[in-house]
Amino acid sequence: MPPCRLGITAAKRVGNAVVRNRAKRLIREAFRATGDQWHPGLDLVVIVKSSLTGLRLDDVIREWRSVEPALKRWTCEPPAPHPHPATKGRA
């Protein structure tokens, strides 16, 4: 099974390069610290929408842990199959 992967994006409106890089470092480190909650093969994308100024690593880890029940719900249940619109009505 492939490892979980993390993608992070932060637009310039979040702050200057120092602010954006700090946010990315915090998110990456929290992802590593909470590795036990991620399912193998999971691809996770984080979009930084505001500055993380004032937040510490413990705060970010607490955020990751708070979404764990929702992640289990989304990743443990197989998605319902949806028919492709182009094949609808064809025999």
Domain ranges of the chain: 5-75
Q: The domain at 5-75 falls in which architecture?
A: 2-Layer Sandwich (3.30)
Query: Closest Cα to residue 59, out of 11, 18, 26?
Result: 26
Mean pLDDT on 49-76: 86
Q: How confident is the model at residue 86 (pLDDT cuts 50, 70, 90)?
A: low
Sign of the Cα torsion 23, 55, 67, 4 reads positive
3-state class of 86 per DSSP?
Answer: helix
Predicted TM-score of the model (pTM): 0.74
Give the Cα separation of 77 and 57 in Å (integer).
30
Give the Cα separation of 89 and 68 in Å (integer).
40
